[in-house]
Amino acid sequence: MSMIADALGVSSATVSNALSGKGRVSADLVDKIRKKADELGYVPSNAGRALRTGRSNVLGLVLPDISNPLFPQIAQAMETAASNAGYGVLIADSRGNVTTQTQAISRLIERGVDGLVVIPRRGTRIGDVGCPVAMVDTPSTPGNTVSADHWEGGAKVARHLVDLGHKNFLLIGHDPASNVQNDRIGGMKSAFGRNIRHTTIWLETLMRERGEGASLGLIDHVQNGVTAIAAVSDLHALRVLTELQTAGIKVPQQVSVTGFDDLIFSPVVTPSLTTVHMDMARIAELAIAALVCEIEQAKSTAPTGKTLKRTVNADISKVSMELMVRASSGPAVSPDAPFPTGETL
């Protein structure tokens, strides 16, 4: 800024005001200062600004597993909402581990983030970390800021299958300690009447007993009358589709399959997957707005920049999910229909 000031014969304070849009500087002089700044390759120092204001204008985002294709989509939605609010984002991956999650939060705090968005591992609660926190999990998680209404989403997909005449269900979850997955399965069960049979299997338990690449045993369930398989994730639904098709079982003519999350591959697999769509842009917008509101309030009441905060509250705590009906769900097969023996049909 001193070089710009010397080149134009003005003070450094005038340059600072012109570049930040503050103070009384004529429009003509502002244009000259900005052009000279471009010529000299001037880039504002965020570190310097942070020292002056006590704020970094950066938020931290902690994801539970960035290898899952759902979470990069969530990260993109959060980054867009943060950018629209004038904030950058630093991302950390807890890699499905609670200890790693705690370490990731500590590292982001050390880097001076103004606030955190945490998508917690196994619905863990986040204590006082010295800055505002927006937790995005499920409405049943204590301290949740905003999330999709996972219970409602489960009920929607179950009602869709019941309306198609299905009476014998296999529900597939992955982690029995996950609040989100329990809410999705709970929502499904809430839509079942007394005449509906259903069995739930948890893949984490199954894989621990049988090994990572073991069969899910779907052919046995279908032989025992299951006509609809509802998974808590599109990733698990894809595994179901693969196992059924390998066994020669037609989807949806013999068994309907549904997923959750409407991942990028869901409309293009064969058959295209009936699933439940999460409005990630709306969730991100609400979470970031709640976080920024708390940061701004803290800025006006705490000159040192130090906040004591807990998880923040959004204007809306749960966002409706949308059922996406595609080719993998259809009318229930008649109980008298012949069962394939594995040959090509």
- For 48-57, 80-89, 148-157, which range has the lowest pLDDT when averaged over its residues? 48-57
Whether 229 contacts 330, CB under 8 Å: no
pLDDT at 279: 97
CA gap 149, 278 in Å, rounded: 9
CA gap 339, 321 in Å, rounded: 35
Whether 172 contacts 236, CB under 8 Å: yes
For residue 195, count CB atoms less than 10 angstroms from its CB and return exposed for 0-12, middle for 13-18, buried for 19 or more. Answer: exposed
- Is pLDDT of 31 > 70? yes
How far from 237 is each of 29, 140, 145, 188, 245, CA to CA, in Å? 62, 24, 28, 15, 12
CA gap 23, 238 in Å, rounded: 59
Given pLDDT bands bounded at 50, 70 and 90, which one contains residue 110? very high
Q: How many helices (H) and strands (E) does the chain have?
A: 12, 12
Cβ neighbours, 10 Å, residue 336? 5
pLDDT per residue as tens digits for the range 246-283 = 999 999 999 999 999 999 999 999 999 999 999 999 99
Backbone angles phi, psi at 53, to 5 degrees: -100, -15
**pLDDT above 90 covers what percent of the chain?**
66
Quote the tokens at residue 148. 């999709």
pLDDT, average across residues 316-329:
97
Given pLDDT bands bounded at 50, 70 and 90, which one contains residue 337? low
pLDDT per residue as tens digits for the range 138-173 = 999 989 999 999 999 999 999 999 999 999 999 999
How far from 231 is each of 87, 89, 172, 206, 283, CA to CA, in Å? 36, 32, 5, 15, 23
Q: What is the mean pLDDT of the chain?
A: 89
CA nearest 166: which of 255, 258, 275? 255
pLDDT per residue as tens digits for the range 192-218 = 988 999 999 999 988 888 888 889 999
